[in-house]
Structure 1
């Protein structure tokens, strides 16, 4: 069951530079890091905050990655190295409150103004072949292909995994996923459908399967 799938002609993408100061962006990075795993003194994964443990939506803390994790092979390691990007800029992970329909869970919000067609960054996760994946999965290639590649952000991902479904929150989604090829590597890029003001929540239109399972 997949979140969302959208296909576009190959296009070269450059990630939008942040309009926040370096100090402001670093504060955002530190705040967002609370919701991901980090390495402790003994090499064990620990969380930045005990607060996130109450979030029932997260069965375990995801590992933060800034590009897709490809299957473990010499080709996979090369792809990961060449695709590495920086953190997502100008976004903030927040816990949402009443009357939000997902009160108590997490969402991704704009920390600055974004314009239509601005690119937030890449939807990152573990790359896999064929059917499968969790509610945090989407496709890098046409799912009808025999060996379609998917991206699952359950165990590894970045800030984009916290973008919620728009139903019950807004009349329409304000961001979409688009497939882009950069250096011949397919990536799922997140693009703004409209101008988004600081403080607004980023919202996807997930698949009908997701809506029936989680929003009915």
Structure 2
């Protein structure tokens, strides 16, 4: 049965599963699960009043500006003014190992290696969150390059007290000593930095 309109955000792709909680890959080991359930020091918690389901702070909007690198696709825009340091929403997708061994024992392979929606959660343990096949509004956040002079938001690790589990969240940049975080005004696109690793891996692919 297809989801009801009120159960998914406006402009959500109808063929893509919408997540309210993270999805766990069947390839996760007991050690991975144990690590996910240990809160790292200094990790911020998701605010207790954060709703599950469509986020009221954002809206998915088709991009029609020819000069925008994501023209013809969609971006995530602020539905209201967001102050510096505001928690926006969690980045939901499939939590998975970044490498896994093929059943025949051949060299390790990473089925998520070519995904444009795969976010690193723990490099040391080899854990990622991939929103390619399923996710929430956060998968529509674009990189600031070619759109603005600098990002206005960032990815930061979070702790979900309700699930007792680590994850990644999207936050408005704080003000900071340099005043780099100005907040996000209603109607502005939420933009982050994908990082050099993302673009370096895609040189020659004709993307971005």
TM-score, scaled to structure 2: 0.66
Partner of 1:86: 53
CA contact (8 A) 1:114 1:192 kept: yes
Instruction: Say whether 1:137 aligns with 2:118.
Output: yes
CA contact (8 A) 1:124 1:153 kept: yes
- Among 135, 142, 158, the alignment partner of 1:180 is 158
SS at 2:138 equivalent: helix
Cα gap change, 1:209 to 1:139, in 2 (>3 Å): closer
> 1:211 offset after TM fit, Å?
2.2
Instruction: Say whether 1:198 aligns with 2:186.
Output: yes
* Aligned equivalents of 2:98, 2:189: Cα separation in 1: 32
Cα gap change, 1:31 to 1:197, in 2 (>3 Å): farther
* Aligned equivalents of 1:157, 1:177: Cα separation in 2: 15
Cα gap change, 1:62 to 1:31, in 2 (>3 Å): closer
CA contact (8 A) 1:138 1:151 kept: yes
Which is helix-richer, 1 or 2?
Answer: 1
> 1:168 offset after TM fit, Å?
0.7
Structure 1 residues without counterparts, runs of 5 or longer: 1-26, 37-46, 48-60
Partner of 1:65: 19
> Cα deviation per residue 1:137-173 (whole Å; 9 max; x = unaligned)?
11222x1x2x322100001100010010100100111
Partner of 2:84: 116
Structure 2 residues without counterparts, runs of 5 or longer: 38-50, 100-109, 174-180
CA contact (8 A) 1:175 1:204 kept: yes
